[in-house]
Amino acid sequence: MSIILKKKKGLLTPKPIPPNPSQILGSLGLGAVIGTLSKKETMITEMIEEAIQQLIIEKMTLYSSRQLRGLEYFTSYHRVDGEKKIKNIYLKRRAWLNFICITREEIKTTGGSSKEFISFLKKKRCRSVKINRDQFENKI
């Protein structure tokens, strides 16, 4: 908002000028509203990713989040009403022999979906492992 001052008998007083609508709204236009929505969405996704990270660190007994890069994972699926859904996600460090299971209920407690969990693992550069049925029965 601009202020124009005029001098009256030694005093400076602001001249009354009605503000423009853009001055009133300032940065509260449509772009700002969309910006606040995207900020809220990013905050929510950051909170979900932090919860996923804490779940993995607690389950795998890792010392830091930097150790997430060295993980291998695979998923097991089951059919619900003819639709293929993720049942469990199995994680292990590369040096370990056995996998640790993270169930669907534990994934839901983080606030995210199983797809968000998998995308988090990909974002952290975890390696997806292909495993056949015999290996699955022997390793788990």
CA 58 to chain centre: 18
Cα 87 from Cα 89, distance rounded (Å): 7
- Name the E strands within 1-140: 5-8, 11-14, 71-80, 83-93, 100-103, 127-128
What pLDDT sits at residue 140? 58
* Integer angstrom CA distances of residue 77 from 33, 41, 63, 67, 109: 40, 29, 30, 26, 19
What pLDDT sits at residue 111? 87
Query: Low-confidence residues of the chain, pLDDT below 70?
Result: 1-15, 19-37, 135-140
| CB count in 10 Å sphere of residue 69 | 10
Side chain identity at residue 77, one-letter code:
Y
- Name the E strands within 57-114: 71-80, 83-93, 100-103
What pLDDT sits at residue 120? 92
What pLDDT sits at residue 112? 87
How buried is 1 (Cβ within 10 angstroms: 0-12 exposed, 13-18 middle, 19+ buried)?
exposed
For Cα atoms 104, 108, 111, give the angle at the middle one, nearest 5 degrees: 155
